Amino acid sequence: MTQADPLANLGIRQTASGGELRVWSEHATHIDLCLFDNKDSKWIFKTVSLVRDANNVWYGKTKSLAPGRKYALKVSGPDGPMNAFDPTLLLLDPYARGLTRTGPDTWRGVVIDDSFNWNGVTKPNTALDHTVIYEGHVKGLSKLNTRMPEHLRGTYAGLAHETTIGYLQKLGVTAVQLLPVHAFVSERRLMKQGLSNYWGYNTLNFFSPQNFYATREAQAEGPSGVLREFKGMVKLLHEAGLEVILDVVYNHTAEEGRMGPTTSFRGIDNANYYRQTRNGNYIDVTGCGNSVNTSVPAVSRLILDSLKYWANDVQVDGFRFDLAATLGRNADHSFDPGHPLIQGIVNDPDLKGVKMIAEPWDVGMGGWQTDNFPPGWQEWNDRYRDRMRKFWLRDIRSIRENGSPGDGVGMLATRLAGSSNTFSPARGPLASVNFITAHDGFTMADLTAYDVKHNVGNGESNRDGTDNNMSYNHGVEGATPNRAIEASRRRTIRNLMGTLLLSAGTPMITAGDEFGRSQKGNNNAYCHDSELTWLSWDRRKWQNGLWQTTQHLLKLRRENPALRPVRFGVFGETTPSASQMDWYDGGGNSMSVYEWNSAENRTLQFLAASTPEHEPFNRILVVIHGIESPTTVILPHHEGVTQYALLWDSSFDSPPSLEAPADIRMPGGEYDVAASSLQLFRAD
C-alpha cells in the first residue's frame, strides 16, 4: 500500500513472508479469512482475522495462502436496511483469480499459480480501420466441429485449434469477440425450468475464467490449469494475427435481487456495491435484479483492476461492455459521460491501446446513450442496425403491401458514410461499431424468414425477446420449399452483409451469419445450450456460396481503403485518412434535394475516394438499388475516373471467379442492375 494509492494490491499477493489478502469494505466490523484443507473444501483448518486500515482495506498474511489453497471470507457488520451482513456465510473474495464450486450457492476462492510462458508472442494491435469483429461463443464455435478431437470441442483449446483458427483466418476477420467468459452461473428461475444461462450474462466474479469452458484435463488441474488453457488460447490466436475481445458484464452480478443468493459483494458491503434506496430497495437499471454502484470509487476501482488484469496479465486485446450506460451513472443514478470510470477506462495508461466498445444503453431512466461516450470509446450503433434493416427488409415489405417504402435513400446515406450525424468529428467513423445482428436477436437468415419471434422454448410463453425485429419473411413464415422466396431471402442476406462490409465504421459479424445460420425464429436464445445455438460445420451448397461471398467482401474491404476511412471528410478540405464522398442518382447525376428526400427514390450511387496517409490512393463506386424490380443505371462521370471495374454484385449467388475477366464499364455507360441489389466497382 502507498499513501498515493490506498486501494493498491487488493486481492492476493505473494510476499517473502507468505500470501497477503487485502479486501475493501467500509461497513464491515469484522472479517475472517478462512482457509480450507486441500482434501476437504468444507473443513476450515485455519482462520486469520483481518486488520482494518484507515482506508477501509482489511488485510492479513499467512504462509498457508499459497497456490492451490482454497479460501473464503466471513464478514460481520451492523444491521440496517442497506446492509446484508451474515457471518455464517462463506463469501468469495471479489478479486479471486480462481474459484471452485462447493454447493448450489457456495464457492471458494482458489490461490492460483499464474506462471505462463508467452514465448515472445505479443498482441497483434490491429488498427481500427482494419478491424473486423466476429462475435461468437466459446462453446458454440467449435462444439460441432468434427475436424478436431472430441475432447477439445466447445473449449478454450477448441477455439485455439488449428481448424478454428484456420477458418477465421480464411474468412478474413481480425478479432474474435467472445460472449462472457468471466465466471458465471445460471439464474435460479432458469435452473428450476431445467434451462441454463448459455450466453453467460450473469457474472459471479470479475477475475476468474469460466472453468467449464476448459478441457477436462485443465479442469482436473484446478483453476490454475483453466487459466493456463485460457492464456494458451490467447497466445495461439495472437500468433495467428487474431485479436481477442471479451464481452464483459460489470453492470450487475449473479447475486440477483435482494432475495437472491449472497455469494460475495452483498455480504461484504451491500450498501456500497449495489445501487439502492435508503430503505434498502435495489435500484435496478439493468433488468437483472441489481445494478453495480460505480459511483463508489472502490467499486469503480474493482472494475478498472479487472480490466487491467485481463488486458495485461492475460493479454486480452479489448472489451465490449454490456449495458455500459450503467457504469457511467453517478451518485444520483444519472448517466454522466465525465464519470471517472468512463473516463478512466480509456485514459488509464495501463489500458493504452486496448479496444473499448460500449453497448451504450441500459433499461433505466435516460438509459439510451448512443454517442454520449467520450473519445476513445467505440459504440454499438443501433441506429445503423435499424436503418439497414428498414431499408432492405421493412421497406421492401411496405412496397409489396402498400406500394410505397415510406423512406428513400436519404437516411441511408449517412449511415453508409460512418454516421457523422451521430458521432462527432473528434471521434470519427470508427467510433461506430456497425452491426446488422448480434447474439441478442434474430440471426441474419432469420431476419429474412420470420416476421415474429418464436421463443416458446424459452419457457416464458413467448413473452421474452424484442417484438421490434424489423424483419421480413418474404411472404412465408419460416422454412419453405418455394424456390423464389428462398432466392429472395438469400439475396437479401447478401445485401445486408454487403452493406455492413462496405460501410464506413468498424463492422461486426455475428458468428454463423456468414453462412446463413438459423435459430428457427428464436430471437432470445440465451437459455439454449444446444444445436440451436452451436455453429454447424456441415453446410449446404447455398451456404457455401454465402460464405464465399462474405470472404470475398472482407477481401475487398482490406484491399480498398476508401471503404474504411479513419476520419470524416470536410467539404472543400483535404483530410488525411478520410474518404471524399460524391453522391449520384441512378442516372449518374449529382443527387438533387428532391431525390434525397423522395420516398420513391430507392437507387443511389456513391463514389468514395481515399485521402492517402498510410496506403495508396484508392477510389470505389457503390450502387444501391432498393426496389424489387430491375433497373439500368448510368455510371457517373467523375474527374480522374476513366473506367469502372466490377468487383461484386449481390444478385449473384457466389462471388466472381478470380480467373474470370473483369467486367469493365466506362463513365456514362449503362449497367443493368438486378432487383433489390448492391454492386461494388473499383473506379480507375
For a pLDDT cut of 90, what percent of the chain falls above it?
94
Kindly state the cell numbers that stand for 287: 433488468
DSSP strand pairing (619-625 vs 664-665): unpaired
Residue tagged active-site, from 322, 362, 446, 585: 322
Least-confidence region, from 2-16, 123-137, 204-218, 641-655: 2-16
User: Taking phi first (over 0 means left), then psi (-120 to 50 degrees means alpha), and beta for anything else, what does residue 156 get?
Assistant: alpha
Place of cell 508467452: 118
Report helix, strand or coil for 84. coil
The confidence score (pLDDT) of residue 2 equals 44
Kindly state the cell numbers that stand for 55: 482506508
- Rounded mean pLDDT, 154-178: 98
Is 359 among the catalytic positions? Answer: yes
Summarised one tens digit per residue, pLDDT across range 496-523 is: 999 999 999 999 999 999 999 999 999 9
> Alpha-carbon distance 255 to 258, whole Å?
8
> Alpha-carbon distance 630 to 646, whole Å?
18
The confidence score (pLDDT) of residue 105 equals 86
- DSSP 8-state class, residue 376: T
The confidence score (pLDDT) of residue 3 equals 53
> 45 φ, ψ to 5°?
-95, -10
| Beta bridge mates, 13 | 20
Residue 570 pLDDT > 90: no
C-alpha distance from residue 196 to each of 187, 212, 535 (Å): 8, 13, 18
Summarised one tens digit per residue, pLDDT across range 645-673 is: 999 999 999 999 877 888 999 999 999 99
> Alpha-carbon distance 211 to 182, whole Å?
9
The confidence score (pLDDT) of residue 195 equals 93
> Alpha-carbon distance 252 to 203, whole Å?
7
For a pLDDT cut of 70, what percent of the chain falls above it?
100
Summarised one tens digit per residue, pLDDT across range 114-128 is: 999 999 999 999 999
- Residue 219 CB coordination number (10 Å): 17
Kindly state the cell numbers that stand for 109: 476462492
What are the DSSP calls for 34-82, one per residue? Answer: EEE-SS-TT-EEEEEEPEE-TTSEEEEEETT--TT-EEEEEEE---STT
Angle between helices 297-308 and 340-347 (to 10 degrees): 20
In 300-450, beta strands by DSSP E: 318-321, 355-358, 378-380, 432-434
Domain boundaries, the chain: 11-110, 383-452+462-532, 568-683
Give the 3-state secondary structure of 102-135: EECCEEEEECCCCCCCCCCCCCCCCCHHHCCEEE
- Rounded mean pLDDT, 172-181: 98
Kindly state the cell numbers that stand for 12: 492476493
CATH 2.60.40.1180, applies to 568-683 = yes
- Sequence-ordered list of residues with C-beta below 8 angstroms from that of 250, at least 6 positions apart, any chain: 203, 206, 292, 294, 303, 306, 321, 322, 327
- Rounded mean pLDDT, 560-569: 95
Is 628 among the catalytic positions? Answer: no
- The pTM assigned to this predicted structure is 0.97
Place of cell 477448441: 158
> Alpha-carbon distance 376 to 128, whole Å?
11
Summarised one tens digit per residue, pLDDT across range 437-479 is: 999 999 999 999 999 999 999 999 999 999 999 999 999 999 9
Say whether 568-683 and 11-110 share the same fold.
yes
With cut-offs at 50, 70 and 90, classify the pLDDT of residue 366: very high
Query: 596: part of which helix (H) or strand (E)?
Result: helix 593-597
Residue tagged active-site, from 129, 243, 317, 359: 359
Kindly state the cell numbers that stand for 134: 466476429
* Mean pLDDT taken over the chain: 96
Residue 4 pLDDT > 90: no
- Rounded mean pLDDT, 591-601: 93
The confidence score (pLDDT) of residue 1 equals 41
- Right CATH for 11-110 from 2.60.40.10, 1.10.10.10, 3.90.1300.10, 2.40.10.120: 2.60.40.10
